[in-house]
Structure 1
């Protein structure tokens, strides 16, 4: 309903104002209501204190006539006030009490409410007892005040408080919306700036000044995100070019060889050679596609779930048996040091080991030794594959685990390596909750992975 932040803030201001008015108005109404409720009783007490001495002074019929005249005068002066005197002797009664008043008079003494026919509001009545004096018997004296005025005052106060609350809430809502619009102007400006940023123009950044401190944090985070998006976009463009290059080479070979074979009649042996060559290119295409699918799955957050605790030295030995012919052709030896028991997904880890060892073999001269070192730490296990070779420049080290990245820009040996091996090693390490590392020091290049202990 409230899509606009300004409307949401205005709504919040309205709720806060409503709550404040309810609390303050409710407290004020209760206090005034309590005070108004005490006024009739206070007025009755005051009037009775004035009449008490007069009522108790006279004890014969002659003098009681004077009391009746005074009570009549007081009733005429204030129409809200009524007096009744109820006695066993009609000569000492006042106010012509009916059966309802008589029954009420013989009830408990003190302040009580009496409802009379024809009156919407009750009377507040003070019932007192006057003892017998001389010829006058004991009697009950009632002084009553109509509460209509007090009730109407309470009603008017309630209406006034509700009206003020409604006006205050509406005013707070309008002012809140106006204040919110003013406060959101910098955000609206940033929104317009952000709308102008779109690929391939990602080099622009939102301005940090002049902005409120709260928005500066947001802009800094947004600019940092934009920096990462720009880098990712650049890598994606490079990655797309690399994919096109890697797929174009085998496809070009397949098309060229097939076209040459079809230009004229060939012998069965020649067609066999062409098909065998095409099969190699198709195998390379399949390898690239499979590796790309694996990396896409890893990018979506796939984790190694089928974990079994195994010996890393044993897994390295199994991998070396698989690579025995490759090592023999390259005339290199592999030396394994250390061991550790870690939870791994065997198939994935062996794939990472094959890629690490293949990478080392390709860059190791004949007769040299590749070292595999396994070191167990308190929180992680390090598996490093080190081979002697030319130093790798420092600017290349952070990117060696990127897809299709090669130190040699001329792409030599592309037929044997399509540049995804180390990227797959990193993906497998991340799937196990680990990471990768690379070092080039003293003529030794070391590639490895960290695994949780």
Structure 2
């Protein structure tokens, strides 16, 4: 099936530029909101200061009026103070026509009736409200009770605020666009090492498995990524080498019995043979076929284990009891090799008995093949730290440390020290032990010193 390269929805540079723009929008919007509120407060204070100044000037005069001629002068002054656009208006409300000034709307009449107060009023068809301040003057010997009100239109202040908001919105928009552009440019330049790293990764080839990414010239943030990638390449190279070695070992292990089968069959068919001779040939071929089947079954088991297969029927059991069962199963082989087995200690753990028995049998079979005649094999069963251990020790030649770590590799043999030369093993027994241990949440171990070799496995006790 042909793979289709999917185009990325959005580049990292574009995404980071969008994030820069969003952050700029949030910050500038908050800043603009604060400035707008502060401007509104300043404008209101100015409007109130203007209103208070106009009101107090006339209030001072009203408190000192004594004659009708003075009322005429105050009316003239109010006419002079009222601008043509009527952005400021004055009203004197009184029952005395000589004192009364202006034509106060109903809203002002109702507002001034409440005495001394300040507030915003929507008057007539004005687009913006007026800020109005009123006060009451009691009657005295010279005039009756009156009320005085001054109104200042808010249109100029509202216009100033709208103009400021327009500039603010434009500035924020331009700032966000600038932040996005600069963010994209900075990110694009900052991602140059990443693009270089990507090009190096694309240049890697299966034909040059030893090739690695150059870490020295990368920034610190990418060093860990490159080193992790190089580590993965190291593991891949090791796995590839192991796979090649495994394929060669498989070919070698299968070639020998196949060659025997073909050779013996060709010889048997080369001329007339007696029935007894043909039976001998078939028996020999059957042994080789059994060996082939054993190799294939073991390889299939290891493949399933590598794919994560887990035991299906875990039951808590005595490990020493399972070891005794394996010893009984190998009784004939023990007698033939002239060795004995001693089981020491015990522990319980949840195991699948068939798998665990297979692993213990492989360990015992390995010890039997490499122990000298009349030797005793010691099997120690113990438990500590949530793990139960089964250690199988046998006397024999000491294995060098460089070989111990590879004893559980497939088809690996230490020919000088561990190969018996009997052809009974195809090199998968300890690999199966390792797989069984992993399936039970445990590990394997091996040590060899002073003529005693100990190989074993551990399983989880919970």
TM range (shorter): over 0.9
- Equivalent pair of 1:131/1:137 in contact (CA under 8 Å): yes
> Which of 8, 11, 33 does residue 4 from structure 1 map onto?
11
Aligned residues of 2:115 and 2:135 also touching (Cα < 8 A): no
User: Residues 39-58 of structure 1 correspond to what in structure 2 (within 5 A)?
Assistant: 39-58=46-65
Instruction: Please give the alpha-carbon distance, in whole angstroms, between the structure 2 residues aligned to 1:156 and 1:270.
Output: 114
Q: Which runs of 5+ in 2 are unaligned?
A: 1-7
Distance 1:414 1:328 in 2: 17
2 CA distance for matches of 1:218 and 1:192? Answer: 15
Instruction: Work out which of the residue numbers 204, 215, 220 in structure 2 matches 1:208.
Output: 215
Q: Whole-Å Cα distance in 2 between the matches of residues 124 and 247 of structure 1?
A: 104
Q: Separation in 2 of the partners of 1:433 and 1:64? A: 107
Instruction: Pick from 430, 454, 458 the counterpart of residue 446 of structure 1.
Output: 454
Aligned CA-pair RMSD: 2.2
Structure 1 residue 95: deviation in Å? 1.3
Residue 344 (structure 2) aligns with: 337
1:424 corresponds to which of 418, 425, 432: 432
Note closer, same or farther for the CA distance 1:78–1:46 as it changes in structure 2 (3 Å cut): farther
Structure-1-length-normalised TM-score: 0.94
CA contact (8 A) 2:370 2:420 kept: no
| Secondary structure of the structure 2 residue equivalent to 1:417 | coil
The Cα shift of 1:285 comes to: 2.0
Unaligned runs of 5+ in 1: none
1:80-104 Cα distance to aligned partner (Å, 9 max, x none)? 1111111122221111224444334
Secondary structure of residue in 2 paired with 1:62: helix
Q: How much does 1:382 deviate?
A: 2.5
Residues 202-226 of structure 1, C-alpha deviations (whole Å, 9 max, x = no match): 2122222222222222222222222
Matches within 5 A, 1:180-191: 180-191=187-198
State which of 347, 359, 366 in structure 2 corresponds to 1:352.
359
Query: 1:270 maps to what in 2?
Result: 277
Distance 1:98 1:3, change over 3 A: closer
Distance apart, 1:105 and its partner CA: 2.9
The reply on whether 1:87 has 2:94 as its aligned counterpart is yes
Specify whether residues 406 and 53 from structure 1 end up closer, same or farther in structure 2 by C-alpha distance, changes over 3 A only.
same
The CA deviation at 1:252 is 2.7
Cα deviations across residues 35-60 of structure 1 (Å, max 9, x unaligned)?
22232222111111121111121144
Structure 2 vs 1, CA of residues 223 and 345 (structure 1 numbering), >3 Å: closer, same or farther?
same
Aligned twin of 2:3: none
Structure-2 change in CA distance of 1:109 and 1:268 (3 Å): farther
Residue 92 of structure 1 aligns to a residue in which SS? coil
Instruction: Give the Cα–Cα distance (whole angstroms) in 1 for the partners of residues 275 and 333 of structure 2.
Output: 31
Q: Call closer, same or farther: CA 1:420–1:67 in 2, change over 3 Å.
A: same
CA separation of 1:235 and 1:91: change in aligned 2, threshold 3 A: same
Query: Do residues 160 (structure 1) and 167 (structure 2) align?
Result: yes
1:243-254 matched pairs, under 5 angstroms: 243-254=250-261
1:295 deviation in Å?
A: 1.2
The 3-state SS of whatever aligns with 1:399 is coil
Q: Which residue pairs with 2:395 in the alignment?
A: 388
Q: In the alignment, what sits opposite 1:364?
A: 371
The DSSP-based 3-state class of the residue aligned with 2:405 is helix
Structure 1 stretch displaced more, 52-61 or 226-235: 52-61
Q: Which residue of 1 aligns with 2:240?
A: 233
2:317/2:350 contact within 8 Å kept: yes
Pick one of 427, 434, 443 that aligns with 1:435. 443
Q: Deviations over 1:168-193 (max 9, x none)?
A: 11111111111111111111111111
Q: Is the 8 A contact 1:126 1:142 kept in 2?
A: yes
* Separation in structure 1 between the aligned mates of residue 330 and residue 74 of structure 2, nearest angstrom: 130
**Structure 1 stretch 74-83 or stretch 35-44: which is displaced more?**
74-83
Partner of 1:71: 78
Deviation at 1:349, TM superposition (A): 0.9
Taking the aligned partners of 2:10 and 2:293, their CA distance within structure 1 comes to 50
TM-score by length of 2: 0.92
Residue-pair matches, total: 453
Checking the alignment, whether the CA contact within 8 Å between 1:61 and 1:136 is kept in structure 2 is no
Instruction: Determine whether 1:320 maps to 2:317.
Output: no
